[in-house]
Structure 1
Amino acid sequence: MFKRLLTLTGSLIAAMALGAVQAKPLPQEDLSVAEVLRDRALESSDAYSIVESLTVEVGPRRAGTEGDRRAVAWAQQKMKALGFDRVYTEQVEVPRWVRGHAHAEVIAPYPQPLVVTSLGFGVATPEDGLSAEIVEFADVEALLKAPPEQVKGKIAFINKRMEKARTGEGYGPAVQGRSRGMRAAATKGAAALLLRSVGTDSDRFAHTGMMAIDNIENPVPALALSAPDANLLEAMLKRGGPVVVRLDVDNERLADGPSFNVIGEITGRERPEEAMVIGAHLDSWDEGTGALDDGAGVAIVLETARLIAELPVRPRRTLRVILFGAEEIGLVGAKQYVDAHRHELDNIIAISESDFGAGKIWRFDTRLPENKFDIADQMMQLLAPLGIERGNNASSGGPDSSVFVARGVPAFGLYQDGTDYFDYHHTPNDTLDKVDPENLRQNVAAWVVISFLAAEMEGDLGRIPTKTD
């Protein structure tokens, strides 16, 4: 099979040398090479060994921690071993925080413990803890509308359930409680916030995650409850009478410090200054080992680059892999990258990102000018045999990629089946055993198609409209 790849690539270069002009946006020679890359990924890709290495040799890697520093060193070594032409880092400044203990228990009327975890950058309780009555709200909007006297001195309990979906579309409505709930509780004078975990499981694991923390005068402790414990509080409240909970939390905010975007490049043979960018985020939360979020994505994009690096000749453009730092705490690495390279964004032909676990890819979305849809249609010819269907033209490419898209960079979106993703998201249960090697091969097969074709294509994908246009 690889001999066939050599032959096809040689034919491609020969055709270009003769000045061959193809009528279609993507020449058949390009599509043929991409097809061979796709099939090779299905047969022999070993992305699983990369995520296994990351989770075993590094483990949790919350931004600004020792685990984060180990991950940065790991990523540089791995890129060099995989055949990247250039490997480098760019420092970013990140907020830092130390997670301490978090305990919660019902002390009246039915004393029993609760399983909780601190939300990211949450503050501590007083040294002796705090006890207060629970007041329940259906969602953060209900809390925001509540009169202050209903909340003051109590523990606000946001009891919003997340709906399960292959697209993960239930996350957006549910995560509002996590991102905005502590601010709302503090504004109303609450003693603390308890949040039904933003997840779709029924396990007794609590889901952590980042909150909005800027410009809050009097932040209050904020904890996520496991789903069974949220059910427990709900049942107690239905029996009437006050439910009193005691919290004991110890966290600490530190001064800002360094983290890094880790960048590897397969240098383009003709237009090295232009790049197809693919990415994932290197950091993770500290509860599990970050296998799904986003170790799998790291493995997928690194393995994609490795396969392309093994071609007899480099693609026309550079393939740039960015492992973003500090995504979990607010897309920090992506924002600082775009700011630092704002005058070079026109040299990025497109961007895409793997950050939705390790399920099979089932949909291909884009964010392209309408006159470039035929290129996506040609890519679909090679993606369809993988069980992938055509989606919409509203893709952000992924969380970090959205920062680039906001500046007009076109995007491709390859979306995994996320039905079970939020069962594990941000919990101690985000571990390697949740990753299926066969699914990873299908992911890499799809990624290598779009990555090679975008890096190799003769034309470009233009720019997309932005809010400032």
Structure 2
Amino acid sequence: MRIKMLSLLAFLFLMTSVISAQDKQQMVKKIVEEAEENSQLEQIAHELLDVVGPRLVGTPQMKNAHDWAVEKYKSWDISARNEEWGKWKGWERGITHVDLVTPRIQSLEARQLAWSPSTGEEGVTAEVMILPEAKDSLDFVEKLKSVKGKFVMISMSQPTGRPDDNWQEWATEDSFTKLKKDRDSLNDLWNTRIRNTGLDRRELPKALENAGAVGVITSNWSRGFGVNKVFSAYTEEVPTIDISLEDYGLLYRLAEYGDKPEIKVVAQSSDLGEMPTFNTIAEIKGSEKPEEYVILSAHFDSWDGATGATDNGTGTMVMMEAMRILKRIYPNPKRTILVGHWGSEEQGLNGSRAFVKDHPEIVENVQALFNQDNGTGRVVNISGNGFLHSYDYLGDWLYEVPEEITSHIDTNFPGTPGRGGSDYASFVAAGVPAFNLSSLSWDYWNYTWHTNRDTYDKIVFDDVRNNVILTAVLAYMASEDPERTSREKIKLPVSKRTGEQMTWPEARDAERAGMLEE
């Protein structure tokens, strides 16, 4: 009788395991079908990138994005809210138009930098000059007198607008070697010119402004055809504009040859004072363990040289689409599935750091967090981020992801803790099993990261769909796992660089009054 009972229990356990495995397979199949046959990615991308546009912290467009996301989630019957966590200097971009007016007429490709002061509607017309060359900082103080009433160029003029891979393909070896040598020499000379001012790159624009310059001109080439990095201005009263390599080179040569180029700059913008900053939070409530969380993570803000398509529109789209799919086919997860669209990542992970600080009750009960940030490519690397037993659970979850997706992915277990770069690091610092879904490059660093070319057309939707399936399956598996994930950390080694014992990163609070005077 005892033997029969044990046999029956073993049979029932086996059948339960088979049913459980079949349930997982069916759910994964449904996720794949919904992602491939009813994808909303293109629609989400259009609304976010073409209609809402760039999402610079402190701008009305950033608030528009948060409000749009809340309404989008509500249209999918997902609870969503905006959580205020701080303030930022408010600013709104207006029209930028720059024309060469002497010695000939030509419209130039240019844009004002973020938080640049305005010229007003009438604009400013003035001569363009190259940053004065000085022997030392004392000599530069004397040379500063020459900038009054002029636009001053403070970037090196590049000797070529062709990226290195183009030269490598077509040039002779001697020609390419000569180019690199000449460029290095020019770079050294320009760095010396900057160093002899006695000022760093943040202080220099302010010094020019104080000396009477009517504006500052930069050109931050990103080593790709037609691509510039676009960041923020450091002037407080006069405009700072970034000009394309091609047009910057034109102005530089005209000034260098003594042709006294003049430009007209219309750079309209508005200082909006203090503006609130937000995270958008949405969640599908857990049915069995609602106080435990699986978090999907992506920063929502962008620089505004373009529309932030791959930094981080694509990560945002992945998390929104994964949530839509999960709500449709897995509406009653065991654990609460929460998505965080973080504000002001670009200025130092501020939104996610604020969330970690403000929600210890959630942070304490996170099963796992999955973050996606670095571009449009399919995920190719996942690290265990220093959690000793991360392979035990993450390996099991990845096993259920379709092989055509995981075959691209290299894993590194247990890895070492991420210390920055994206919002997962805010959670790792707090001891949360947080994992970055790191993407294939697609020339991300040169062509789209913080550039004027980070637009809808750079998205590779097939790769993004892969990432949606990966994220949705991992979220489902993490929610269903009967065990809590281990937070045990590896013992960190001695640093080869410093010879000192390495320590786990420490959680930091956000900058909650960005660019605002205390």
Q: Residues 79 and 17 of structure 1: is their aligned pair in 2 closer, same or farther, counting only changes over 3 Å?
A: farther
In structure 2, the partner of 1:3 is none
RMSD across aligned positions (CA) = 4.3
The answer to whether the Cα contact below 8 Å between 2:279 and 2:341 also exists between their aligned partners in 1 is yes
Q: Residues 100 and 278 of structure 1: is their aligned pair in 2 closer, same or farther, counting only changes over 3 Å?
A: same
- Choose 253-262 or 185-194, whichever is displaced more: 185-194
In structure 1, the partner of 2:202 is 183
Secondary structure of 1:370's match?
Answer: coil
Q: 1:157 corresponds to which letter in structure 2?
A: S
Deviation at 1:284, TM superposition (A): 4.2
Secondary structure of 1:322's match?
Answer: strand
In structure 2, the partner of 1:410 is 433
Mapping 1:329-368, distance limit 5 Å: 330-342=348-360, 344-368=362-386
- Choose 362-371 or 124-133, whichever is displaced more: 124-133
In structure 1, the partner of 2:130 is 134
The answer to whether the Cα contact below 8 Å between 2:92 and 2:272 also exists between their aligned partners in 1 is yes
The answer to whether the Cα contact below 8 Å between 1:148 and 1:188 also exists between their aligned partners in 2 is no
Alignment match of 2:312 (pick from 285, 294, 309): 294
In structure 2, the partner of 1:81 is 75
Q: 1:76 corresponds to which letter in structure 2?
A: V
Identical amino acids, percent of aligned pairs: 26
Q: Residues 147 and 432 of structure 1: is their aligned pair in 2 closer, same or farther, counting only changes over 3 Å?
A: same
Alignment match of 2:114 (pick from 113, 120, 141): 120
Q: Which stretches in structure 1 are left out of the alignment for 5+ residues?
A: 1-13, 21-26, 138-142, 166-176
Q: 1:156 corresponds to which letter in structure 2?
A: I
Tell me if 1:437 matches 2:433: no
Q: Quick one: distance in 2 between partners of 1:408 and 1:109?
A: 62
Tell me if 1:195 matches 2:215: no
Mapping 1:392-407, distance limit 5 Å: 392=412, 393-394=415-416, 395=418, 399-407=422-430
Deviation at 1:244, TM superposition (A): 6.1
In structure 2, the partner of 1:209 is 231
Tell me if 1:282 matches 2:304: no
- State the TM-score, normalizing by the size of structure 1: 0.73
Mapping 1:17-96, distance limit 5 Å: 32=25, 35-36=28-29, 39-40=32-33, 43-46=36-39, 47-84=41-78, 86-92=79-85, 93-96=87-90
In structure 1, the partner of 2:404 is 385
Q: Residues 187 and 61 of structure 1: is their aligned pair in 2 closer, same or farther, counting only changes over 3 Å?
A: closer
Q: Quick one: distance in 1 between partners of 2:485 and 2:23?
A: 15
Deviation at 1:452, TM superposition (A): 2.0
- Choose 247-256 or 33-42, whichever is displaced more: 33-42
Q: Quick one: distance in 2 between partners of 1:302 and 1:16?
A: 37
Q: Quick one: distance in 1 between partners of 2:310 and 2:320?
A: 15
Q: Which stretches in structure 2 are left out of the alignment for 5+ residues?
A: 1-11, 166-193, 490-502, 508-518
Q: 2:472 corresponds to which letter in structure 1?
A: V
Q: Quick one: distance in 1 between partners of 2:138 and 2:303?
A: 33
Per-residue deviation, residues 367-393 of structure 1 (Å, max 9, x unmatched): 241232233333444365224221443
- Choose 315-324 or 369-378, whichever is displaced more: 369-378
Secondary structure of 2:295's match?
Answer: strand
Secondary structure of 1:433's match?
Answer: helix
**Residue correspondences, number:** 423
Secondary structure of 2:276's match?
Answer: strand
- Choose 92-101 or 190-199, whichever is displaced more: 190-199
Q: 1:39 corresponds to which letter in structure 2?
A: V
Q: 1:87 corresponds to which letter in structure 2?
A: A
In structure 2, the partner of 1:174 is none
Alignment match of 1:466 (pick from 492, 501, 504): 504
